[in-house]
Amino acid sequence: MANVVVVGTQWGDEGKGKIVDWLSERADVVARFQGGHNAGHTLVVGDEVYKLHALPSGVVRGGKLSVIGNGVVLDPWHLIGEIEGIRGQGIEITPETLMIAENVPLILPFHGELDRARESQNSVAKIGTTGRGIGPAYEDKVGRRAIRVADLADDATLELRVDRALVHHNALRAGLGLEAVDRADLLARLREIAPAILEYAAPVWKVLTEARRAGKRILFEGAQGALLDIDFGTYPYVTSSNVIAGQAATGTGIGPGAIDFVLGIVKAYTTRVGEGPFPSELLDEDGQRLGERGHEFGTTTGRKRRCGWFDACLVRQTCATSGVNGISLTKLDVLDGFERLKICTGYELDGERYDYLPTAADRQARCTPVYEEMEGWSESTVGARSWADLPAQAIKYIRRIEELIGCPVAMVSTSPEREDTILVTDPFAD
Ligand code: IMP
């Protein structure tokens, strides 16, 4: 199997960074296909910690091509800042190692302002976004008024695109009590950043097609998690992109047949940042303990994450919508020392039992979890590298998860260190 897609199966923050880094060592190309710098991927390599937001995780490994696909929305100023930061940590980034699709829509300063204005002005509309302009930038893409990377190359086109966007945005801003956008200033800023971005611009669909023909291994790196998917997530409390595995094809310009293995990243419990339903959320001491032991604070916003028991019903659903072939279970050690563990297996709503999360937001909010209980384990699972290193109860917990979600475990990650991994199935294996 040559090409692997890695997706989060919960509400993001499943620990994708480590797994992607682990897999990227064996990949030739690492491609981002959705989201933007709302993502936060932490990579620990030796003593060095890298915090990436917009850059694909492959950049920290020498000799790989990292690609930002058309499904991503890109803040050019943020990206250049991130590149400089990573260079400061001794990583080389050149147009040979990083390519940005020419059809990537840009996140502009007014997108961030709009995002934050909506979040603060009207509590009814609050989503709990990262405030980075992701939603407004995708709105402009679909509204056919986005400024895309390729537009930076021609000044007349750029002016035309800016005017087209401002007709819409200035009207919107007036309604929100925001000043009109300073056109001259925006154009000056775009002209200034253009050469730094255009250096990396490339027809990514073509580069990936050629890489595939040459037998190169491509790793598609998802951001966020399937429950934040614009179609299949807990709408409207979602991000504005498709997060599920099918987006790897649309968001880079490679056919769906190119995807050989979908690896779903599954945290051994559940977390969520921002607003929205969360049936297995714990507001008690157990929730507090999961948050503290799991260091559950957002990489991008520093916000405290909401914590709860593992929800097998939701992960069964997201494994189905992403066509997950195998899962990577992460942060099992956070459960060490819990006397009893609960797993959500379904919901009750208006006297009826559900084996999936109903679609309507009000119904999702009213679902009460149905739990089964298991005995926990007192031993440490930190750093386990084989099944023999795990307590029997921990293995039982993993096996029960496999059964309930209907998907086998391909890997178990037992610490942030890349070597602390139990490998069952190599997603890249032929
Ligand atoms: P946005 O993507 O900034 O529009 O935020 C929409 C929702 O997605 C909010 O609930 C965010 O907390 C959530 N979100 C966005 N990116 C991430 C992520 O990388 N991890 C976890 N949650 C995220």
Annotated binding site: 12-18, 38-42, 130, 144, 224, 239, 299-305, 331-333, 413-415
pLDDT confidence of residue 223: 96
Give the whole-angstrom CA distance, residue 376 versus residue 312. Answer: 17
38 ligand 1 Cβ < 6 A = yes
pLDDT at 123: 66
- The secondary element (H helix, E strand) that includes residue 192 is helix 183-198
Mean pLDDT of the chain: 95
pLDDT of the residue at 243 = 98
Catalytic residue among 37, 41, 53, 169: 41
Q: Indicate the top mutation candidate among 10, 20, 72, 224 to test ligand 1's pocket, ranked by most ligand atoms within 8 A of CB.
A: 224
- pLDDT tens, 111-127? 999 999 999 866 677 89
333 and 272 Cβ atoms separated by less than 8 Å: no
CB count in 10 Å sphere of residue 157: 14
The Å distance, Cα 235 to ligand 1 centre, comes to 12
Where do the domains of the chain lie, and which CATH numbers do they carry? 4-102+201-262 (3.40.440.10), 109-198 (1.10.300.10), 266-423 (3.90.170.10)
Which among 42, 114, 115, 130 is the best mutation to test ligand 1's pocket, defined by most ligand atoms within 8 Å of the CB? Answer: 130
What's the pLDDT at 298? 79
Name the residue among 257, 195, 208 with its Cα closest to residue 66. 208
Question: Looking at residues 409-413, what average pLDDT do you find?
Answer: 96
Q: Which residues of 369-390 are buried (b: 16+ CB within 10 A; e: fewer)?
A: bbbeeeebbeeebeebeeeebb
Rounded Cα distance, 154 and 173, in Å: 27
pLDDT at 403 over 90: yes
What is the token pair recorded at 424?
Answer: 């069952």
Report the range of poorest mean pLDDT among 225-229, 262-266, 419-423: 419-423
Question: Is the pLDDT reported for residue 228 higher than 90?
Answer: yes
Q: How far is the CA of 134 from the centre of ligand 1 (A)?
A: 9
Report CA(23)–ligand 1 centroid distance (Å). 24
> What is the predicted pLDDT for the residue at 1?
54
Pairing of the two strands 409-413 and 352-354: unpaired
Counting residues of the chain whose pLDDT is more than 70, the rounded percentage is 99
Catalytic one of 64, 111, 141, 267: 141
**Tens digits of residue pLDDT in 336-394:** 999 999 999 999 999 999 999 999 999 999 999 999 999 999 999 999 999 999 999 99
Is the CB of 265 inside a 6 Å radius of any atom of ligand 1?
A: no
Phi, psi of 411 (to 5 degrees): -150, 150
Interval 160-193: pLDDT, tens: 999 999 999 999 999 999 999 999 999 999 999 9
Among this protein's residues, is 141 annotated catalytic? yes
Task: Could you list the residues known to form a binding site for GTP, using ranges.
Answer: 12-18, 40-42, 305, 331-333, 413-415
- Per-residue confidence (pLDDT) for residue 43, from 0 to 100: 84
Q: Is the pLDDT of residue 419 over 90?
A: no
Is residue 63 very low, low, confident or very high in pLDDT (cuts 50, 70, 90)?
confident
pLDDT of residue 47: 87
Q: What is the pLDDT of residue 399?
A: 98
Mean pLDDT of the 4-13 span: 97
Secondary structure of residue 160 in the 3-state scheme: helix
Question: 331 alpha carbon to ligand 1 midpoint, in Å?
Answer: 20
The pLDDT value recorded for residue 94 is 96
For the question of residue 64 being annotated catalytic, the response is no
Token pair, residue 169, equals: 């945005």
pLDDT at position 122: 66
Ligand 1 atom at shortest distance from the alpha carbon of 274: 10
Mean pLDDT score, 413-429? 89
Catalytic annotation on 126?
no
**CA-nearest residue, atom 20 of ligand 1:** 12
CA distance 128 to 74: 20
Quote the pLDDT of residue 301: 77
Burial of 308 (0-12, 13-18, 19+ CB in 10 A): buried
Average pLDDT of the segment spanning 24-36: 95
Question: Residues forming the annotated binding site for substrate?
Answer: 299-305
Instruction: Calculate how far, in angstroms, residue 301's C-alpha sits from the geometric centre of ligand 1.
Output: 10
> How many whole angstroms separate alpha carbon 365 and alpha carbon 371?
17
pLDDT score at 225: 97
Output the pTM of the full model. 0.96
**272 sits in which H/E element:** strand 270-272
CA-to-CA dists, residue 288 to 72, 276, 291, 306, 325, angstroms = 34, 19, 5, 9, 33
274 lines ligand 1 (CB under 6 A): yes
- Are 238 and 230 in contact by the 8 Å Cβ rule? The answer is yes
Buried b (16+ CB within 10 A) or exposed e, 257-293: ebbbbbbbbbbbbbbbbbbbbbbbbbeeebbebbbeb
Q: Is the pLDDT of residue 417 over 90?
A: no
**What letter represents residue 26's amino acid?**
R
